[in-house]
A and B are shown apart, each in its own frame.
Chain A
Amino acid sequence: MTSISARAGFCLLAIFTSAAAPAPTAHRFRIVIQDLAFGAAPAGIRVGDTVEWDNQDILVHSVTAQDQSFDADVKPGAKVSFTMHRAGVIRYLCKYHPGMQGILNVGE
């Protein structure tokens, strides 16, 4: 957690010091949950990066990795985030609405 906030802090610093540079969002990825579906998987996720799911639906969903590396409920209007600890393809789903599925491609 400390390393994430340190990196987030560094990113913020980067935004303030270099307005012309593109927003340094490389360390935190966002997936929107809407209308009983997970948004598209972001490209370029790497080990140590954080993925945040933002539930904009009216229902409670879960973000549950098939390899059990993460699992949490996320209420309407709430967010949940996990740091990726291993490279590879990680399939996840909502355990309440099993047709809701997603894939993360995590690089080294």
Chain B
Amino acid sequence: MIRRFAAVLALALAVAPAAAKEEKLNDAQIAHIAYTAGQIDIQAANLALAKSHDNMVRGFAQEMVRDHTAVNDKALALVKKLGVTPEANPVSASLTEAADKKRSQLNHLDGAAFDRAYVENEVAYHKTVNGALSKTLIPDASDPELKQLLETGLKLFEQHQEHAEHVAAMMH
């Protein structure tokens, strides 16, 4: 399941931009994708906070909400400052679709099974977003401030991936 989700995401993030490679992603689209990626992780974390009783998992989920909210607030302030309106696009649409599917799968799990699936998905999801940020979103971004915020986002996603891997290792 998790692997399939990761594959769908990888497809969404890698293939869609590649298909439109001649017309690379513009800043309005990139901002929309990055914001969406953060919101998806916040929604997953909120589900974990509603369902999990594990302190380590809850702590991790709280961190996801806190960090991604902070970065997304910064992103909103930046697009406002730049006069850019985030533009919906096929990449963010497929991200959202895949995430909705994943969330409903997770919603059917409980207890330790939920905790494990949530954390494993967090590892896979952060890995995928890291790939998209470093291979597509950061290189395509034109505005230097947007590029810099995406680079901060990449560092953050890498740290979260590491933290998620650590939490996953503690659970096995």
Contact = CB atoms under 8 A, between A and B. Distances in A.
Interface of A: 35-36, 58-60, 76, 96-100
B155 interface: yes
Contact of B152 (A36, A60, A76): A36
Interface string B125-169: 000000000000000000000000000100110111011001000
A58 B152 CA distance: 10
B71 interface: yes
B163 A59 contact: no
A97 B63 CA distance: 10
Given A35-B152, A36-B152, A98-B166, A58 B70 contact: yes
B147 to A, nearest CB: 13
Contacts of B158: 99
Given A36-B156, A59-B67, A98-B159, 12 more contacts: A35-B152, A36-B152, A36-B155, A59-B66, A59-B70, A60-B67, A60-B70, A96-B163, A97-B159, A98-B163, A98-B166, A99-B159
A35 B154 CA distance: 11
Contacts, number: 36
A96 B158 CA distance: 12
A58 B72 CA distance: 11
B163 A58 contact: no
Nearest to A100: B159
Given A35-B152, A36-B152, A96-B63, A76 B159 contact: no
A98 B156 contact: no
B70 A97 contact: no
Given A36-B155, A100-B159, A58 B63 contact: no
B104 to A, nearest CB: 28
B59 to A, nearest CB: 9
5 smallest CB-CB distances across A and B, nearest first, come from: A97-B159, A36-B155, A58-B70, A96-B63, A99-B159
B117 to A, nearest CB: 22
Contacts of A59: 66-67, 70-71, 156
B80 interface: no
Contacts of B166: 98
B34 to A, nearest CB: 14
A28 to B, nearest CB: 28
Contacts of B155: 35-36
10 contacts: A36-B156, A36-B159, A58-B71, A58-B74, A59-B67, A59-B71, A76-B70, A97-B160, A98-B159, A99-B159
